[in-house]
Structure 1
Amino acid sequence: MNNVLVVDDEPIILEALYNTLTRMEDHELIVWKAPSADEAIEIMKSSRIDILMTDVRMPGMSGLELVGLVRKQWERCKIIILSGYSDYEYLQTALQQNVFDYLLKPVDEEVIVETITRVITEIESNMHVQELMTKAESQLQRAQSLLHRDFSEKLFAGELYAEGTIAESLEMLKLPLRCDLDVIVVVGRTDRWPRDYLLKEKLLMHYAIHNIVKEYLSSACRIVTFIENGYMVWLIQGAEDGSREDQDLITLHWYIGEMLEKIQQSIRDYLKLPVSLLLSKPNIGWPSIANTFKEMCAWLQRGIGLDEEIIFIERIDEMKPSHDSGEQSFADIKRSMSHLQNLLESGNEDAFMQEFADFFRAVQEFVFLEYTLQLEIYANLSWMFLTYINNRKISPFIEEDLAYLSNYGLFANWSEMEACFLRLAARLFSLVQGENKSQKQEIVDKIDAYIVESFSSEYFSLTHLAKTFQLSTSYLSRLYHSEKGISLTERMKQLRMTRAKELLLIENKKIQEVALELGFYNVPYFSKFFKKNIGITPQEFKQKYAMAPGGGPSGHGQ
């Protein structure tokens, strides 16, 4: 998904450019328009800008001045300059600002489409998989793994409180953070790994993911990554190089939130991995990092709607801290149980069932004579299932099984306990999958009803729809397509064409009136759009199927 901002003080040209871009079906675009540089700046303050298409000569601030301001806020933004003058000085200044293209007005629709296509191709090719993987290999070799691991374990376990201890560790590990400043926390989870991935390959991908995050955020902040209990954690503070002197954590927090969608999309496109990301509230003090991390992990485990590629910002008030895994004794068995919990929480049923069977085979001989250790394993497994049940509020559906989670004496032997827990796990996976399906269907039905009611409004757009349902545009698009089997763009196009045909059949209804009612300000463009989808022009359709007094059309194709 790319955000495009079009700026031109001539209304006819602005509307023509806007209509051309919004009808581009081969690319997912969110298009903004502004009749002046001042209004463009207001849009820029609330939305990420990936592509700026601006006129040069406008009243007040010029297009080139606007380019400079946009570059300060969104330095990766691609610039397309429009001008009615073949002016050498303007062209020279544009080249100095490293613009993508300089187009002379009037510009044909085909040229606009071709230029935007080239811009998007360049955006997508800026990050190369091979470069990311090479950098990841190098980082893996240089990592101070043991010291780094020791620091992260203590930090996220809440065992580092003294500012002096934290400062000493940051300096020793050469981590570019300050212990006297608050941080922003981002937690990421790889939702699904390819089945053939080994531990080294997963670790390599974690580094590659970090490189993508760094590519998008490093110019605005200082950032350090950790891997803790299978989660990726980024601690972030503002940049100290003077490039953003006026930027506090609130502004930085907003900027990161705007970039999460692009980060997630790049990971999906280049690494072929689905990743969920959660952004904490700003101003997290170092003593609060451990609890914040636990709360964010608990929220990610619950998820919403789709069970993959979640993006959540600031909503961690309801989270409950996770519990300590227990004493250090019996450590290997505990680590295996922790892995089982991660598989259960991630919804990976096949891997969980296999790991569960392997776990019981591995520990049965070890604990056979040690009754207290049997109790310890039973208590931990019961806690794992109960935590899962409570987090998802599904206890009413498995009341008959709850007794087996609180009374070890109900099992005649170890094998009976294994069989009971396997049945319970299968039941839980089935319940949660059904719940997710029902939840997604309910959300999508509401979205579809809203589209049918509002699609002809002049204010209706994918951005408006996303804000109405408080979801990101990319997440909304994927959620709708996963349930309906059709894209939102295609659905809106179908509704427009159906409504267009209905309006054209009204006697004395002018084609211009139909176009305006459907949000098309350019009648020739409406005619072209109609013919592309229906096969004939609006005028031909009207002549062929126009309703006669007392009669009606015999049918009108699509």
Structure 2
Amino acid sequence: MMSLLIVDDEPYTADGLRGMLAEREELGLELYVAYSAEEALQRLRRMRVDIVLSDIRMPGMSGLELHEWLRSRWPRCKVIFLTGYGDIANVQQALRGGSVDYILKTEGDEAIVKAVRGAIVKLEEELRGERIMIQAKEQMRQELALLRREWFARMAEASGPLTARDRTRFAELELPLTPDGPVQLVLGRVDRWDPDAGPSDRRLMINAIQNIACEYFSPVSLLALPVGDSRFVWLIQPGTGAWPETLIFVNGMLDRVQRTIGQLLKLPVSLVTTGTACDWERLPDDYRTVKQMMLMGYGDEQEMLMTGCGDKPPAATEGRSDGLSPAQAAELELALDSGLADDFAARLDEIFAALPARYALFAQAYYGAAVLLLGQIDRLGDEGAGFDDVAERLTELGRHASRDEAVQCLKDTARLLAARRTALLGERTHRVIRMLNQHIAEHLDSDLSLEALAGVVYLNPSYLSTLYKQSTGHNLSDYIAEMRMDKARTLLAQPQLRIHEIAPRVGFGAPAYFTRFFKKHAGLTPQEYRGQLPQE
């Protein structure tokens, strides 16, 4: 779904345009309204918009000045100007800067719809034209890529300020980042691979994902690194802008990047960031946080997009992996983080089968795996209630009658954790839906745009829309419309209230827009509906 922002200082015109475009459901637009260019800027600083439909002459900042701002911040945004004959020369100059179209105010609704369709087509053509996967090649020498991955692994576990040696590594590894400023961390995950995709196919796809990220984040400094078979990280710093603008740009662009990956590569990916920047010495904390956000997500964990902590995950104690090699510990932890209890069990079998018969080595490997499981239990925080007995059994190897029984205890614990995690995902999702429905019921007279609702529950707007449909079977916009219609019918049954008094109580600034909305859903105008009600 693409988003369109209407900018006009005349509320009647702006609301009328929104109502007209809302009726064109085939356009598939998420619609927003701003009653001045300054108000539009406030919204654009918080969210990404695909198309702007703007008047030119407005008090304060003009539509042309708004266009110049858009060119520097959102270069992919398409602008359609509403203009009079006297402004055509200025508009033609703006068109050379990348705007899509202009419409004379006398041309009517069909001309506006045609221009909007043209903007949508152009955006879709640009998307299809970016066949980045075809150009996905090795972007760096294999040795440099490996060194960079090792560098990140060390930075993600380091403690304290950067050392002099740490600083020199930035230049040695040709990192597009500076050690002297904060960094924003984004963690990504391919949620599901094609069953026929082999290791080389997966590496190619990860490279293609990184290429897409580099394309969309070209205005900022980005280092993209794989951190496993299905995971990757993006480390980001400002380009020429300041941090506030960079955070807005990055957090707003993640939705587009995720959708492009899905459309071009046919891969569902999840992207998670705290939405803030941190000093390098705090990078390990941020990395633990985003891993925890990924672990404790919502819904079915497909294509999650989280740009803030929301319900901040409980503090976790990082488990050690004594008795296991770093590679073995990483593989086991990845299986646990992904909820893949069967993979965890299979890897355990391989590890213990390869061990010499000495009990001391078995005990070390057992406790190494047990510590990883205890770390997972600890991350559940208060939601891990009921695991105390399980944790106690894990820490007492001598309680098990045999080695096979001890290994089975590890496997059973992994399965219990996976089941608990699945249950918690459902509980969190239901909690979000309840919170959202309650907010809607209590604020029918307020802004219930996708962006505003996403701010209530700390989720990305696009992801929230998908999560709501996935969880309830209904579109969020349909639920809001149903609630507004229910309240409108209740208010229309009160004869002392006039139509223009009812409209703002159900979220419509213009009575004409309310009338159009009501007739669309009820088949009658509000006045006609009221006329059919029994008279007291």
Same fold (TM over 0.5): yes
Report the TM-score when normalising by structure 1. Answer: 0.83
3-state SS of paired residue (1:397): coil
Partner of residue 18, structure 2: 18
- In 1, the alpha carbon distance for the partners of 2:503 and 2:285 equals 56
Query: Which residues of 2 match residues 444-455 of structure 1 at below 5 A?
Result: 444-455=433-444
Partner of residue 331, structure 2: 339
Partner of residue 259, structure 2: 265
Q: Is 2:313 aligned against 1:322?
A: no
Task: Report deviation, 1:82.
Answer: 0.9
Partner of residue 547, structure 1: 534
Cα gap change, 1:305/1:546 in structure 2, threshold over 3 Å: closer, same or farther?
same
- In 2, the alpha carbon distance for the partners of 1:292 and 1:31 equals 33
3-state SS of paired residue (2:53): strand
Cα gap change, 1:520/1:162 in structure 2, threshold over 3 Å: closer, same or farther?
closer
Task: Report deviation, 1:77.
Answer: 1.8
The residue type paired with residue 322 of structure 1 is E
What do you get for the CA RMSD once the two structures are aligned?
A: 3.4
Superposed CA offset, 1:322-368 (max 9, x none): 344347xx63xx524422221222223xxx31x24433443444325
Partner of residue 397, structure 1: 386
Superposed CA offset, 1:269-295 (max 9, x none): 43331312214642523x554454345
The answer as to whether partners of 1:82 and 1:103 remain within 8 angstroms in 2 is yes
Residue ranges of structure 1 left out of the alignment (5+ in a row): 550-558
3-state SS of paired residue (1:432): helix
The residue type paired with residue 273 of structure 1 is P
- In 1, the alpha carbon distance for the partners of 2:373 and 2:317 equals 16
3-state SS of paired residue (2:354): helix
Identity of aligned residues (%): 27
Query: Which residues of 2 match residues 193-204 of structure 1 at below 5 A?
Result: 193-204=193-204
3-state SS of paired residue (2:226): strand
Partner of residue 555, structure 1: none
Partner of residue 40, structure 2: 40
Superposed CA offset, 1:423-453 (max 9, x none): 3332222222222212221221222122223
Query: Which residues of 2 match residues 172-321 of structure 1 at below 5 A?
Result: 172-219=172-219, 221-229=220-228, 231-239=231-239, 244=240, 247-271=241-265, 272-279=267-274, 281-285=276-280, 287-303=281-297, 307-308=301-302, 309-313=304-308, 319-320=315-316
- In 2, the alpha carbon distance for the partners of 1:281 and 1:38 equals 25
- In 2, the alpha carbon distance for the partners of 1:411 and 1:317 equals 33
Q: Is 2:481 aligned against 1:493?
A: yes
Cα gap change, 1:325/1:298 in structure 2, threshold over 3 Å: closer, same or farther?
farther
The residue type paired with residue 327 of structure 2 is R
Task: Report deviation, 1:500.
Answer: 3.5
- In 1, the alpha carbon distance for the partners of 2:74 and 2:375 equals 43
3-state SS of paired residue (1:127): helix
Partner of residue 71, structure 1: 71
The residue type paired with residue 533 of structure 2 is A
Query: Which residues of 2 match residues 378-527 of structure 1 at below 5 A?
Result: 378-393=366-381, 394-455=383-444, 457-507=445-495, 514-515=502-503, 517-521=505-509, 525-527=513-515
- In 1, the alpha carbon distance for the partners of 2:505 and 2:156 equals 57
Superposed CA offset, 1:510-549 (max 9, x none): 5555545434455555444434333445455445x32133
Superposed CA offset, 1:91-112 (max 9, x none): 4213222211111103533443
The answer as to whether partners of 1:2 and 1:29 remain within 8 angstroms in 2 is yes
Task: Report deviation, 1:375.
Answer: 0.5
- In 2, the alpha carbon distance for the partners of 1:146 and 1:121 equals 41
- In 2, the alpha carbon distance for the partners of 1:368 and 1:416 equals 18
- In 1, the alpha carbon distance for the partners of 2:88 and 2:253 equals 36
Task: Report deviation, 1:226.
Answer: 1.6
Task: Report deviation, 1:52.
Answer: 1.9
Task: Report deviation, 1:409.
Answer: 1.7
Rg larger for: 1
Cα gap change, 1:60/1:431 in structure 2, threshold over 3 Å: closer, same or farther?
closer
- In 2, the alpha carbon distance for the partners of 1:283 and 1:46 equals 20
Task: Report deviation, 1:183.
Answer: 2.9
- In 2, the alpha carbon distance for the partners of 1:231 and 1:324 equals 21
Query: Which residues of 2 match residues 333-372 of structure 1 at below 5 A?
Result: 335-348=327-340, 352-353=341-342, 355-367=343-355, 369-372=357-360
- In 2, the alpha carbon distance for the partners of 1:91 and 1:370 equals 81
The answer as to whether partners of 2:157 and 2:284 remain within 8 angstroms in 1 is yes
Superposed CA offset, 1:175-211 (max 9, x none): 3233344433333233444444332233222222222
Task: Report deviation, 1:407.
Answer: 1.3
The residue type paired with residue 392 of structure 1 is L
Task: Report deviation, 1:392.
Answer: 0.8
The residue type paired with residue 29 of structure 1 is E
Partner of residue 554, structure 1: none
Structure with larger RCO (C-alpha < 8 A, sep 6+): 2
The answer as to whether partners of 2:6 and 2:18 remain within 8 angstroms in 1 is yes
Cα gap change, 1:9/1:107 in structure 2, threshold over 3 Å: closer, same or farther?
farther
Cα gap change, 1:415/1:118 in structure 2, threshold over 3 Å: closer, same or farther?
farther
- In 2, the alpha carbon distance for the partners of 1:181 and 1:530 equals 53
